[in-house]
Structure 1
Amino acid sequence: MDILFVRELKVDTRIGIYDWEREVKQTVLIDLDIAADVRAAAQTDKVESAINYQTICQRLVAHISASEVELVETLAEQIADIIRSEFGAVWVQVTVHKPAAVRGTRDVGVRIERGNRLP
């Protein structure tokens, strides 16, 4: 199986459990690994034959910037559901980074996998 990937999709959103986090938008970074068979796209050289990562990114930016979840786990689950249900991916790995959320760290977050990587 082939893997399409997106690294560090940057989106500002309201996320967190503390009152101050509900008042100000924070930046989250999204990493995606999406299982797909890219042979048809490679043969036709047409975006219509591919899972379009630009369209995925636009959809996720719209969703994430409008969401107001408390947990990165919830956001990761929503992202995985969108990619699988709307874009037909059989497997996805989603990493949600919340940089500088915890003092003394560079980054915290969650990584989930949904679906079956191999057909």
Structure 2
Amino acid sequence: MNHNAIIKITNLRLRTYIGFNDEEKQKQQDIIINAEIHYPANNLCLSDNVENALNYKTICKNIIHHVENGKFLLLEKLTSDVLGLCIDHPWVSYAQVTIDKPHALRFADSVSLTLNYSTDEGVSE
């Protein structure tokens, strides 16, 4: 029987340069990242041995470093980069990243983009 471990990073609030108009290029904006990462929960993982689990703290630190030190024209590029960091381990079988850009539209709370990756389908979306 196969079991999945699922790591969820919820509402990681960061600031970065995102957008292509002059104001967006000059001033960092708030973004909110939600990520979900699946990997096999084998017996080694469940043995309480740190080396046998996916290190979510390392993943989160990599995301923070990349986002806060980057400049992005498109939300698609930023989301794709973060998804790449989430799947940068051979154990990962599925990952999904949603990034919200609050206040991007006048009458909406935020605009968001979601990308996912799955080894089961053999393609990323």
Residue 65 of structure 2 corresponds to residue 79 of structure 1: no
TM score, norm. by length of structure 1: 0.88
CA distance in 1, matches of 2:116, 2:83: 8
Q: Which runs of 5+ in 2 are unaligned?
A: none
Give the number of equivalent residue pairs. Answer: 117
**What does the per-residue CA deviation read over 1:63-116, in whole Å, with 9 as the maximum and x for residues that have no partner?**
01111011111111111112223x332221010111111111111110111122
Aligned sequence identity (%): 27
Quick one: which of 24, 30, 35 aligns to 1:32? 35
CA distance in 1, matches of 2:30, 2:54: 26
CA distance in 2, matches of 1:98, 1:47: 34
Runs of 4+ in 1 over 3 A off after TM superposition: none
Quick one: which of 48, 52, 56 aligns to 1:53? 56
Q: Which runs of 5+ in 1 are unaligned?
A: none
In proportion to residue count, which structure has more helix? Answer: 1
In proportion to residue count, which structure has more strand? Answer: 2
One-letter amino acid of the structure 1 residue matched with residue 38 of structure 2: A
Question: CA offset at residue 117 of structure 1?
Answer: 5.2
Stretch of structure 1 that moved more, 67-76 or 34-43: 34-43
* Greater C-alpha Rg: 2
Quick one: which of 46, 51, 69 aligns to 1:42? 46
Change over 3 Å in CA distance of 1:12–1:117 after alignment to 2: farther
